[in-house]
Copies of this chain bind each other. A is one copy, B any other.
Amino acid sequence: MKLKDLGEFGLIKRLAETISINDAQVVAGIGDDAAVIKVDGPKLTLFTTDSLIEDVHFTRPALSAYQIGWKALAVNLSDIAAMGGVPEHGLVSIGLPSQTSVDFVDSLYQGIKDLSDKFKVNIVGGDTVSSPQLIVNISLLGEVEEEYLALRSGAKAGDKVLVTGDLGGSAAHRLAGKHLSPQPRVEEGRAIVKRLWPTSMIDISDGLASDLGRICESSQVGAKIWLEKIPVSEKTRQMSEQLGEDFVRLALEGGEDYELLFTAQRVPELTSEMDVSLTVIGEITDQKGKLSLIDKERKSHPLKSKGYEHFEENRF
């Protein structure tokens, strides 16, 4: 069997089954945005890693060196944000073709530095090796108070489904050959865990449909999403139209928005308290594994848990 038949998520499940964890210290292992480790002291340690690989996650020169560095850290910060945590220390492991200019590397590091400064993250080390492709791997440590930890697994029937910001913008920009520098929702994640007591949370890296599917799978519930409620900016709508793309599809399947998707029992006076908009887009149901999209006419459509998945033959 080849990986493309198994798919990325099939592979991750397989590996999670192979590697069993027998340690009371590990609160959550494979299958959430970050690993959660109980240490001495009042806070939990969060531990996550993500790689960006040239010609897989980005191409040059579509993404500048600065943007590559920025994004490599941003995707990791987003994972910590999705746990309700505060990022703290990072390691940067870079694979570089030997013909790379030092200016390029300096600029890549500047992108990492500017974003790490913004969130007071210390880059405490890493390694640098030669590589045929440019590869940037970042590992990040963070922490979260036990009472604020947001896993993927706590959603209950009746919970509202909410999302920060708006969706589809990253995909629309990508299709137009432009790139956004993703803004990880670290402060927003903290505000959400402190004020709204989310029952589950994830960051939208692979698309709303796919990442909502993960919450539903971990929580053993279903969800319905109201199509009209999905927040899509006017600019994304315009760009989609120019590109002949369906903006709903971009919002559902586009990925790389790095907004936070979460569920909560109560949603009091949302927007007035935070800088970023929060939108209630749906509801959790007890129909395990079933995702539905409700259209304007209140007709229900099955929503496939489909987003960007590695090892597929046909990618979005």
Contacts and interface: CB of A to CB of B under 8 A. Distances in A.
A26 B122 contact: yes
Contacts of A113: 18-19
B96 A3 contact: yes
A110 B15 CA distance: 10
The interface residues of chain A, by DSSP majority, are classed as: mixed
A37 interface: yes
Interface string A56-76: 110000000000000000000
Contact of A93 (B49, B129, B313): B49
Number of copies of this protein chain within its complex = 2
A91 interface: yes
Contacts of A313: 98
Contacts of A122: 21-23, 25-26, 29
Contacts of A18: 106, 109-110, 113
A36 to B, nearest CB: 8
Interface string A120-150: 1011111111111101010101000000000
A191 interface: no
B19 A109 contact: yes
Interface string A22-37: 1101100111101101
A14 interface: yes
B129 A47 contact: no
A51 B95 contact: yes
A272 interface: no
A243 interface: no
Interface stretch (A5-13, A213-221, A262-270, A284-292): A5-13
Given A2-B98, A25-B122, A56-B95, 5 more contacts: A6-B102, A25-B88, A51-B93, A53-B132, A53-B135
